[in-house]
Amino acid sequence: MSTIGLIGAGKIGAALARSAVAAGHRVVLSNSRGPDSLAELVAGLGERASAATPAAAALAGDLVVVSVPLYALRDVPAAELAGKVVIDTSNYFPGRDGAAPELESGEVTVSGLVQRHLEKSKVVKCFNNLYYRHMPLLARPSGAPDRTHLTIAGDDTEAKTAAAAFVDSIGYGVIDAGPLAEGWRFEVGRPAYAVFTDDTTEPDENGIHGPAIRTAGEVRQALAQA
């Protein structure tokens, strides 16, 4: 199995780490507060998990997940991620991230902006539209008739293949939405952003409804409705 570097160990990063370890991967977690702040999370994940600085996690990963708010993008170590396949989970929330004129104008997509910062990396957009609590609930083995399919976008075919293999290993199929320029199709507010929640269920304390299993056909339909 692979070593997955994680830059950002918040709700999505931690959920991905748990899924990766359960699938047999090794994980190296990092955040802005330092490895010591991750001791409890690492201990709970077991012997396949460790903590490091963001730069060290970037270097250690066969594949690296960047899961930080957009306002923290400038702190993601671009040099150490050169040549790496990077899965970007970012969403743009102006109230949190501050206004980004290039995103507001449609000049670039969210993950396209990440690619600009990580110009020597191979960025693949994924996991931005899956609620962290739903991640273990929707996972299914390959071939299961009720397997949920997640959306990805990226400019590098080999990078998308590597990202898809990781997604498959933790229990999901993949629908390729195309290059990063098409990533807007599953950004915040688009039909494919909310496709994995079931609005007939009661929302939790965060206002999020329960998980919804989505077939490849349903995900493609949501992308087409953007």
Q: Which residues of the chain have pLDDT under 50?
A: none
CA distance 46 to 3: 14
- Domain borders along the chain are 3-224
CA distance 3 to 63: 7
| Token digits of residue 183 | 């990533």
- Is the CB of residue 12 less than 8 Å from the CB of residue 127? yes
pLDDT, tens only, 105-151:
999 999 999 999 999 999 999 999 999 999 999 999 999 999 999 99
How high does pLDDT run on average in the chain? 97
Q: Which CATH class is domain 3-224?
A: alpha beta
Q: What is the pTM of this model?
A: 0.96
**Three-class SS of 11-64:** HHHHHHHHHHHHCCCEEEEECCCCHHHHHHHHHHHCCCEEECCHHHHHHHCCEE
